[in-house]
Amino acid sequence: MDNKFLLKCKDLMELTRFYSINMTLASCFVIFSYAYYSEKFTFLNFILLTLALCMVQMGANLFDCYIDVRTKLKQGFNFENMEFSTERKARLIRNGTFSLKQVEIVLFILFFLATIIGVYFAFETGWKVLLFALFGGILTLLYPISSKFYMAEAIVGLIFGPLMIMGGYYALTGDFNSNLFLLSWALFLTTIILLHTHNIMDWEFDIKNNKNTFAILLGSKKKAITATKWMIILSYYIVFFGVLKGMFNPYMLFVFLTLPIATKLNQSMKDYINIKDVEFKPRWYWGIFENWKEIQERKLDFFMFRFYLARNFSFFFALFASIGAMS
């Protein structure tokens, strides 16, 4: 295969922050575990749904970068001196690999294809699918300005939790499942934990740029880290409560296999405040830490270690819940 084509694909994946697609895949695992037993379930529809949801996430990621770059340009910055919380954000737009016009074309293609699949499901399952899609579209459009109102984490949590899971389940089955709805709120929390962890580490940058996050709303990093701990506990409690009340089968307790990741995340966030010189050594039971050698060379391990822990907790929580639901 042509090297230029592979390089362009790699650039496109970075442009759309494809590395975060596991958030959508985690939700899709959960949808699959409940929808599989429906008479209306087909693997073709599940594949189409997964593709549509992945394209929506990639489009939302890119739209966020696009709006931020346009905002910086309006403020008088040029591409060379734009400052973001991470060096990777909008990097390929700022260095000229993709022009704003090309970004607009990519956005159109992603959202257009996702819309086509949405229309297919509207004919296949019913018009209510469009309500889920409409609500998701509204939240996606609101996300770039949501940080002005301390709502960014809640919006992303709603999208990847109740909205995506219940909308996806309805698209595949034409039905509503109250047990799945309860589980979706646990994933709402694990998604917020991921963003909240990121925002705690972006504390100084966000204050400097008047970005209002849930962490800043709490008033201190210590309180924000305590909130992380309680969100972790509540996500486990939702599953335990569901098993206790007979809403989930006992195998759903597989989610407690993520305790090593959750424990390390909580400890590592405390270290972020109290201990400055920490050696970061990933362990297999904490999940996947891709490109770790490169991250260490770029001296980003202090940030990415904690980000990966939060991401792995969110992903494996959903994965183990899915496995438990099908057992």
Is the confidence at residue 82, as pLDDT, over 90? no
Angle (nearest 5°) at CA 298 between 62 and 206: 50
CA distance linking residue 199 with residue 126, whole number of Å = 39
The pTM (predicted TM-score) of the whole model is 0.89
**225 Ramachandran zone, left/alpha/beta (phi>0; psi -120 to 50):** alpha
Q: What is the pLDDT of residues 130-169, one digit of tens each?
A: 899 889 888 888 887 888 889 999 999 999 999 999 999 9
Q: What is the pLDDT of residues 263-300, one digit of tens each?
A: 999 999 988 877 666 778 899 999 999 889 888 888 88
CA distance linking residue 308 with residue 292, whole number of Å = 10
Residue 120 CB-half CA count within 13 A: 15
pLDDT at 151: 92
pLDDT at 75: 86
Report the pLDDT averaged over residues 189-204.
93
Share of the chain residues as helix, strand and coil, in percent rounded to the nearest 5: 80, 0, 20
Is the confidence at residue 236, as pLDDT, over 60? yes
Longest dimension (CA), the chain: 58
Least confident piece of the model among 5-14, 92-101, 169-178, 245-254: 5-14
Q: 3-11: long-range contacts (C-beta < 8 A, 24 or more apart)?
A: 11/92, 11/97, 11/98
Q: What is the mean pLDDT of the chain?
A: 90
The structural domains of the chain, ordered by start, are 1-176 (1.10.357.140), 182-327 (no CATH)
CB 213 within 8 A of CB 282: no
Q: Percentage of residues in the chain with pLDDT exceeding 90?
A: 62
- Beta strands (DSSP E) in 209-306 are none
